[in-house]
Amino acid sequence: MEITFLGTGTSQGIPIIGSTHPVCLSEDQKDKRLRVSVLVSWDKYQYVIDCGPDFRQQMLANKVTRIDGILFTHEHADHTMGMDDIRPFFFRQGDIPVYAHKRVLEALRERFSYIFSSENKYPGAPSVIENELTNQPFSLGNLDVMPIDLMHNRLQVFGFRFKDFAYLTDMKTIEKEETEKLKGVKVLVVNALRIEPHHSHFNLDEALAFIEEVKPERAYLTHISHMLGFHEEVQKQLPKNVFLAYDNLKITI
Closest CA to 80 of 60, 62, 43, 106: 106
pLDDT tens digit at each of 253 positions of the chain: 999 999 999 999 999 999 999 999 999 999 999 999 999 999 999 999 999 999 999 999 999 999 999 999 999 999 999 999 999 999 999 999 999 999 999 999 999 999 998 887 888 899 999 999 999 999 999 999 999 999 999 999 999 999 999 999 999 999 999 999 999 999 999 999 999 999 999 999 999 999 999 999 999 999 999 999 999 999 999 999 999 999 999 999 9
Q: HEC profile for the chain?
A: CEEEEEECECCCCECCCCCCCCCCCCCCHHHCECECEEEEEECCEEEEECCCCCHHHHHHHCCCCCCCEEECCCCCHHHHCCHHHHHHHHHHHCCEEEEEEHHHHHHHHHHCHHHHCCCCCCCCCCCEEEEEECCCCEEECCEEEEEEEEEECCEEEEEEEECCEEEECCCCECCHHHHHCCCCCCEEEEECCCCCCCCCCCCHHHHHHHHHHHCCCEEEEECECHHHCCHHHHHHCCCCCEEECCCCCEEEC
Partners of residue 246 on adjacent β-strands: none
pTM of the model: 0.97
Domains of the chain plus CATH, in order, are: 2-252 (3.60.15.10)
**What does the pLDDT read at residue 118?**
80
pLDDT of residue 121: 82
> Going by C-beta distance under 8 Å and a sequence separation of 6 or more, which residues neighbour residue 212?
none
What does the alpha-carbon distance between residue 92 and residue 1 come to, in Å, rounded to a whole number? Answer: 25
Residue 174 confidence (pLDDT): 98
